[in-house]
Structure 1
Amino acid sequence: MTWLVVGLGNPGPTYAGHRHNVGHMVVDELARRAGESFSAPRGMRSETVETRLGSAGIGVVAPGAEKVVLCKSRTYMNESGVPVGKLAAFHRIEPSHIVVVHDELDIDFTQLRLKVGGGDNGHNGLRSIRAHLGTGDFARVRFGIGRPPGRQDPADWVLSNFPAAQRTDLEIEVDRAADAVELLINDGLPAAQNRYNS
């Protein structure tokens, strides 16, 4: 069975470093580990990498390794469900084999939480995916970005870059989130939750 790992974010260099784009950063790290570059399959409105993942790691073709499609949407966040729906249909991927990596305001920076299902908590990317799949029962790797200080509008907060002081921690957290995706696929959700939902 093929897995689809979706990193949420907005396309283009303007948005690349934003808090809202941590999903893109995580799938970029997974592609780097696999030694693969993204390409844009015709009609899919996304950039994808097809690779393998097993106990020997990502990008290693070995017995028991699962096929994994990494995805970055070429649509804006509020239309994330369009490419997810297209890729899921094309590769015949069930929602139970979809992992969505996204920013989460209600979790502090340097924290991760993994779960299946639940509400979209005002996240337009999750709302769109739920609408296109007809269910919210997919796995989420929730990457904490924390709430904005004072009275700053959350919309401005998510569409701003991480400050220089957080860059080192950001690299560590992107790495940890990529590890969490690998563990979730290899060992299942409970094992990944035990390690990362601390």
Structure 2
Amino acid sequence: MVGLGNPGPKYARHRHNVGFLVADLLAERIGARFSRPKRVVAEVAEGRLGLGGPRLVLVKPMTYMNLSGGPVAGLSRFYKIPPARIVAIHDDLDLGYGTLRAKLGGGEGGHNGLRSLTKSLASKDYLRLRFGVGRPPGRQDPADWVLSDFSAAERKDLDYLVDRSADFAESIITKGLEPAQNHYH
């Protein structure tokens, strides 16, 4: 499970960092702490979903979003996890705020983090959990929009939506993509 975002406190509550927020909550739920393995530009946390549940490897690449694929591909090889078993959690401009969608494969829709994953994994066939952040108002540059904090109105629902995203991610792992989609779409 890969939470996409940018490292550092400057970016912590930006729309582009919603993947990190969900990964942090998942780590808390499984009682795991993120650490930084040697020679890996990522933070990793491992644990099980529930007693005797499936093993979960959580990854937060510590490169900037545009270079997320390298660390993910390296960890994928290390843990012997094929692309089809990777879930990338990311922001999505094409979905209204708080809308959650999951899918297997597809295009990157202009998302540089996904573009980097696709290139580094040499595959588009990984799972995506998309968290809608909506389009910027007026003529604001989409890059500036995703690299800005959530509005006060959005922050009122953010914890709930991050919690729901974590539930959705767990459901994808424990029940499979289609049953999770049927429940959360």
Q: State TM-score, norm by structure 2.
A: 0.98
1:127 aligns with 2:123: no
Unaligned stretches of 5+ in structure 2?
none
The structure 1 segments of at least 4 consecutive aligned residues displaced by more than 4 Å after TM superposition are: none
Alignment counterpart, residue 150 of structure 2, candidates 131, 140, 162: 162
Q: State the SS of the aligned residue for 1:14.
A: helix
RMSD of aligned alpha carbons: 0.8
Report Cα offsets for 1:161-193 as digits up to 9, x if no partner: 001222121111100110001000000000111
Equivalent residue number for residue 49 of structure 1: 45
Cα distance between partner residues in 2 of 1:157 and 1:178:
23
Q: State the SS of the aligned residue for 2:11.
A: coil
Are the equivalent residues in 1 in contact too, given 2:31–2:47 (CA < 8 A)?
Answer: no
Which structure 2 residues correspond to residues 105-144 of structure 1 after superposition, within 5 A? 105-144=93-132
> Which structure carries more helix by proportion?
2
Cα distance between partner residues in 2 of 1:24 and 1:164:
20
State the number of aligned residues.
Answer: 185
Cα distance between partner residues in 1 of 2:183 and 2:96:
17
Which structure 2 residues correspond to residues 1-198 of structure 1 after superposition, within 5 A? 5-53=1-49, 57=50, 60=51, 62=52, 65-197=53-185
Report Cα offsets for 1:17-40 as digits up to 9, x if no partner: 000000000000001111221100
Q: State the SS of the aligned residue for 1:31.
A: helix
Cα distance between partner residues in 2 of 1:21 and 1:44:
20
Report Cα offsets for 1:83-135 as digits up to 9, x if no partner: 10110000000111100000000000121000000000000000000001100
Q: State TM-score, norm by structure 1.
A: 0.92
Cα distance between partner residues in 1 of 2:54 and 2:30:
13
